[in-house]
């Protein structure tokens, strides 16, 4: 609790020397420390008696609802376990958009298997979603780039499985794309490294727009493979699971996402490692020949994969939880010479 006194202080008088700075709140021109000692200074009638101080407002601080620092997690979660999910991808790949999308699909009950169960960081999530909303007065949805000062903050999502009401808690780490690029380039990147040490899940986010463009596809695949290889050098938590997510699937056609996933995972991820394709907006072909892509496609499967992993890890519901997912990459990393 904090006491706050809302009381503007007043010098409470006037100096007959018009040019004296004391009239403007400054020092006495005659050099007196106490203005009352000055012969030219006198209290105005209204200020002869000191004005009564307004009562102090005793206040109780509340949580801000913003994204959390690592040192706030324990207090805010109050002992509840949560899966730490680190999203890694280049600038504009859709990491923050994916977090916002999961929040709003859960909140609007549009995921078939999971529903929203509260969040300790609603303001932080809403802040990141603002430019993709009508409230922003924009015509084209976008997501504000995660600045470096905000990189590595945690966003909380509580989820409840529709079938049995079991709860799962996710802590999504919003990492700046610039930090990820530095990490990919082999620079010691403390924000990424710290997040990876806590990670239960690592999501490699691949920009679907770069995959859709034949001029950038190869580079995007190469960069994703580089990122995966850099993970091998890290000290990951056990059991950290790695999966690949290709975003913006409304821009992809045919079978290219499967080909891309194979190209990224070949030699970097063990066979059977999960891959997801997500869409943050709808699209439909004019002649109806292409399947319609719905906003949120792939998100239900992705959050389900992560949450089920948490339920298995923490044994919240050992009866209904699916068996723990193997961690092929981690197993390979730990057994590597």
Among 36, 219, 253, 315, binds other proteins (CB under 8 A): 253
Does residue 19 interact with other proteins by CB under 8 A? no
Does residue 9 interact with other proteins by CB under 8 A? no
Does residue 114 interact with other proteins by CB under 8 A? no
Q: How many residues bind other proteins (CB under 8 A)?
A: 63
Does residue 217 interact with other proteins by CB under 8 A? no
Q: Which residues, 6+ apart, have CB-to-CB distance to 310 below 8 Å?
A: 81, 82, 83, 168, 169, 170, 200, 316
Among 7, 36, 109, 326, binds other proteins (CB under 8 A): 109
CA quadruple 99, 105, 106, 111: dihedral sign: negative
> 33 to 62, contacts with other proteins by CB under 8 A?
57-62
Among 82, 86, 155, 158, binds other proteins (CB under 8 A): 158
Q: Mark 63-102 with x for binding to other proteins (rule: CB under 8 A) and - for no binding.
A: xxx------------x------------xx----------
Does residue 219 interact with other proteins by CB under 8 A? no
Tell me if 248 sits within 8 A of 207, measured CB to CB.
Answer: yes
Among 173, 280, 309, 325, binds other proteins (CB under 8 A): 280
Pick the closer one to other proteins by CB: 64 or 185: 64
Q: Mark 176-215 with x for binding to other proteins (rule: CB under 8 A) and - for no binding.
A: ---------------------------------x--x---
Beta-carbon neighbour count of residue 190 at 10 Å? 11
Burial 17-43 (b: 16+ CB within 10 A, else e): eeebebbeeeebbeeeeebeebeebee
Q: Two tokens at 266? A: 């070949």
Among 23, 30, 115, 193, binds other proteins (CB under 8 A): 115
CB of 222 to other proteins, least distance (A): 18
Partnered with residue 160 across adjacent β-strands are 115, 167
Angle at 172 between CA 168 and CA 176, to 5 degrees: 175
Which of these ranges, 197-205, 244-252, 297-305, 327-335, lies near other proteins under the rule CB under 8 A? 244-252
CB of 54 to other proteins, least distance (A): 12
CA distance 124 to 117: 16
CA 40 → CA 17, 24, 36, 45, distances in Å?
7, 15, 9, 15
CA distance 61 to 64: 9
Among 126, 155, 195, 307, binds other proteins (CB under 8 A): 126
Q: Two tokens at 130? A: 């603002």
Which of these ranges, 16-24, 184-192, 230-238, 243-251, lies near other proteins under the rule CB under 8 A? 243-251
Tell me if 263 sits within 8 A of 275, measured CB to CB.
Answer: no
CB of 151 to other proteins, least distance (A): 14
Tell me if 175 sits within 8 A of 146, measured CB to CB.
Answer: yes
Residue 91, CB-side half-sphere exposure with 13 Å CA sphere? 9
Among 7, 51, 219, 284, binds other proteins (CB under 8 A): 284
- Please report, as ranges, the residues that interact with other proteins according to CB under 8 A: 1-2, 57-65, 78, 91-92, 104, 107-109, 115-118, 120, 122-123, 126-127, 129-145, 158, 160, 209, 212, 248, 250-251, 253, 280-287, 290, 293, 295
């Amino acid at each position: 609790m904090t006491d706050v006194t809302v009381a503007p202080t007043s010098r409470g008088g006037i100096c007959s020397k018009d040019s004296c700075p004391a009239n403007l709140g400054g020092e006495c021109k005659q050099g007196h420390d106490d203005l009352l000692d000055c012969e030219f200074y006198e209290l105005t009638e209204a200020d002869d008696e000191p004005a009564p101080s307004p009562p102090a407002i005793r206040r109780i601080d509340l949580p801000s609802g913003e994204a959390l620092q690592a040192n706030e997690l324990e207090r805010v979660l109050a002992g509840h376990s949560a899966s730490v999910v680190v999203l890694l991808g280049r600038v504009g790949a859709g990491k923050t958009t994916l977090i916002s999308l999961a929040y709003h699909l859960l909140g609007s009950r549009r995921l078939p298997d999971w529903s929203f169960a509260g969040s300790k960081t609603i303001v932080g999530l809403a802040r990141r979603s603002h430019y993709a909303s009508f409230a922003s007065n924009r015509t084209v949805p976008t997501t504000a780039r995660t600045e470096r000062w905000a990189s590595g903050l945690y966003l909380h999502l509580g989820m409840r499985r529709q079938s049995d009401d079991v709860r799962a808690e996710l802590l999504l780490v919003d990492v700046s794309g610039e930090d990820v690029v530095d990490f990919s380039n082999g620079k010691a990147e403390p924000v990424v490294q710290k997040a990876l040490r806590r990670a239960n899940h690592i999501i490699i986010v691949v920009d679907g727009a770069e995959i859709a463009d034949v001029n950038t596809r190869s580079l995007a695949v190469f960069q994703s493979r580089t990122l995966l290889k850099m993970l091998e050098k890290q000290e990951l938590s056990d059991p950290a699971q790695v999966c690949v997510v290709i975003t913006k699937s409304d821009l992809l056609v045919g079978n290219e996402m499967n080909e891309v996933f194979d190209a990224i995972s070949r030699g970097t991820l063990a066979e059977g490692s999960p891959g997801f394709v997500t869409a943050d907006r709808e699209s439909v072909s004019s002649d109806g020949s292409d399947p319609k892509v719905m906003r949120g496609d792939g998100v239900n499967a992705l959050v389900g994969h992560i949450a089920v992993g948490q339920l298995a890890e923490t044994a919240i519901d050992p009866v209904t939880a699916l068996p723990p997912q193997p961690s092929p990459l981690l197993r390979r990393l730990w057994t590597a010479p």
